[in-house]
A and B are shown apart, each in its own frame.
Chain A
Amino acid sequence: MAKPDPHNEDTFREIQVKSTLHAAKLPEKTILKDVENHGFGPETTFAIKLALEEAMTNAVRHGNANDPDKSIRVRFAVSNECAVIIVRDDGPGFDPDTVPDPTAPDRLSQPSGRGIMLMGAYMDEVKYRDNGREVYMLKKNGD
């Protein structure tokens, strides 16, 4: 089996979990171990952990609409240079451009709606693919 390469999605490792908040935590340990093994520092690891948590929560709550019969597919590859994580849900997709800015004065006190913004702030690249069913996140090994 080819060594996982962040620039070749055919080589990515894959973890599929049930779409529950409990199961959504499971890929984190494996991915962060891989990140650690490739020499990522604490700030970069913090960023990846935060973005992954937000992507998984969005997949369970919004993408899969809290349906435990649906699943989440996580594919990832880590090198010494960068980590790429792709989270895919079974939902109908969404348009990220329609998500309101949570820092707008009239939305600042809303309790939800910050996940997408945090993913964008903490990762070096975030792309929504297949009508938003899949989020691609890249983090460079930078600290």
Chain B
Amino acid sequence: MTSADTHINVKDSNGVRVIEFCDRKILDELSISELGGELNSAVDSQSGANTLLDFKNVEHLSSAALGMLITLDKRIKDKKGVLKLSNINPQIYEVFKITRLNKLFEIHESADKALASF
């Protein structure tokens, strides 16, 4: 699922849904709202609930984005799946640390390591 007007790329890797962000900034609430809708659709429309969210393109985010991730995590847990995160750059990882969300989410250095852990 990729097109010019979407914010994410979705692919399958051995039964794990791998989602990459197209935007470098997951920042303002306007794009968060659109992005959240796309993420929910991706989670709802495909079989299997395990999901990897890869941040390799992301250079900035806001607390609204963190809220979106928490909501997505709950949605995936409701489907008996697991959400893991990967490739978070050091600046953004610091945001997770400050808010202690590094304790809530399972975060891996790379997509490969995350995929191997499912």
Contacts and interface: CB of A to CB of B under 8 A. Distances in A.
Contacts of A24: 28
Interface in A108-128: 108-112, 114-115, 117-118, 121
A44 B83 CA distance: 31
B60 A46 contact: yes
Majority secondary structure of chain B interface residues (helix, strand, loop or mixed): helix
A118 B91 contact: no
B28 A114 contact: no
B98 A118 contact: yes
Given A109-B70, A111-B67, A111-B68, A50 B98 contact: no
A49 B61 CA distance: 10
Contact of B99 (A43, A46, A57, A118): A118
Interface in A47-78: 49-50, 53-54, 57, 60-61
B48 to A, nearest CB: 23
Nearest to A101: B100
B103 interface: yes
* Interface size of A as a range: 20 to 34
A21 interface: yes
Interface in B83-118: 91, 95, 98-101, 103-104
Contact of B70 (A22, A53, A110): A110
Interface string B44-70: 000000000000000010111011101
B16 interface: no
Nearest to A42: B91
Nearest to A111: B67
A114 B71 contact: no
B12 interface: no
A21 B30 contact: yes
16 contacts: A22-B30, A25-B28, A54-B62, A54-B63, A57-B63, A61-B29, A102-B99, A108-B101, A109-B70, A109-B73, A109-B104, A111-B66, A112-B63, A117-B98, A118-B98, A118-B99
Given A46-B91, A49-B60, A109-B73, 7 more contacts: A46-B60, A50-B62, A54-B63, A61-B29, A110-B70, A112-B63, A114-B63
Interface of B: 27-30, 60, 62-64, 66-68, 70-71, 73-74, 91, 95, 98-101, 103-104
